[in-house]
Structure 1
Amino acid sequence: MIKGLYETHVYVKDLATSIQFYQQLPGLAPCHYDEERKIAFFWVGAPQKFMLGLWEMPEAERSSRHFAFECDKNWILHESVSFLHSLNIRCYNFLKDGIARPMVFCWMPAVAIYFDDPDGNVLEFISILEGRAKPESGVVSYDEWLTISKED
């Protein structure tokens, strides 16, 4: 029986650059490095719960991927954008409307903000919200979600 997703792997151009990038993210801890195979692993959250693998690969073998990190709702809403900006990482919402603010996917519901790693992989900070899903409402700002979710 599946209990969760244990690991995911992404291919990167330069392992050293990617290690430097990922070790800045809160909740990631280096757990294994293999210089010969050009692989680095990070625990995500608690050790041995989830793992991210970075593999240095030639450009012909790389393609961009997407994955999301589960985070605290309040951190996403109040700190994630300034945190990413402090690291000179551009963030954006799902609508890519030029406004760097978390948005709510009403079909889940969940609040999220996006950013890219040095290789163009699309990363996301996400938190599932309380309340009933409202897929008909699409993707909205958190303030709009608060109004919509009170309509029950």
Structure 2
Amino acid sequence: MIEGLFETHINVSDLERASEFYENTLGLTLAYEDSRRCRFYWLGERGKAMLGLWEKEPAQIIRQHYAFETSNEKMKCIVPWLKERGLQVRNFLDDGTEDPFVFGWMPAVSIYFSDPDGHSLEFISVLPDEPQPELGVVAWEEWEKNHGRSLKLQK
């Protein structure tokens, strides 16, 4: 019966600050603002998925993780795009580099960053390759060399 995830919500300590980040830094489109101190944003195409921001007291904020889907093509330039917006980028290993990594079991490539409340955010893109769970987590450049794809990263 389940065909996808339509909506998820993030608790934020300052709705205006969070809205500035999600609208102007990440480019989400405002769908609706409610008098209950919440705003809803379209994720991707209108009517396909939604993100709700709910203002709460700082003590009620539990840092969570959210992953945003992107295309393989957009993933090639996501690191510079995030850095242009003043965001600190990290990979799955949090090894001090900004190199995207591939989860071999999916396979999917991803990169991480944080929102103003410290929620862990991720851009992820499923790759067109066959899963290789035995590889674990590998650098995207290494994955590309071994799979003959040519999705050159922009640095």
Q: Shared fold (TM-score greater than 0.5)?
A: yes
> Does residue 67 of structure 1 match 2:66?
yes
CA distance in 2, matches of 1:93, 1:118: 18
Q: Residue 91 of structure 1: CA displacement? A: 0.8
Conserved 8 A contact 1:15-1:56: yes
Alignment partner, residue 153 of structure 2: none
Q: What is the DSSP-based 3-state SS (H/G/I as helix, E as strand, rest coil) of the residue aligned with 1:94?
A: coil
Runs of at least 4 residues off by over 4 Å? none
Aligned to 2:121: 123
What SS does the corresponding residue of 2:31 show, helix, strand or coil? strand
3-state SS, counterpart of residue 119 of structure 1? coil
Calculate the TM-score normalised by the size of structure 1. Answer: 0.92
**Other-structure match for 1:82:** 80
One-letter identity of the residue aligned with 1:58: E
Shift of 1:72: 1.2
The answer to whether structure 1 residue 25 and structure 2 residue 26 are counterparts is: yes
Q: For structure 2, which runs of at least 5 residues remain unmatched after alignment?
A: 149-155
Whether the 8 Å CA contact 1:132–1:149 is kept in 2: the answer is no
* CA distance, structure 2, for counterparts of residue 143 and residue 88 of structure 1: 24
Per the alignment, residue 3 of structure 1 pairs with 3
**Superposition deviation, residue 138 in structure 1:** 1.0
In structure 2, distance between residues paired with 1:74 and 1:49: 20
**Aligned equivalent of 2:53:** 54
TM-fit CA distance, 1:60: 2.1
Give the TM-score normalised by structure 2. Answer: 0.90
Look up the equivalent residue of 2:142 and give its one-letter code.
Answer: E
Alpha-carbon separation, structure 1, partners of 2:2 and 2:147: 31
CA drift at 1:25: 1.2
> Once the 2 structures are TM-superposed, how far is the Cα of residue 88 of structure 1 from its aligned partner?
0.5
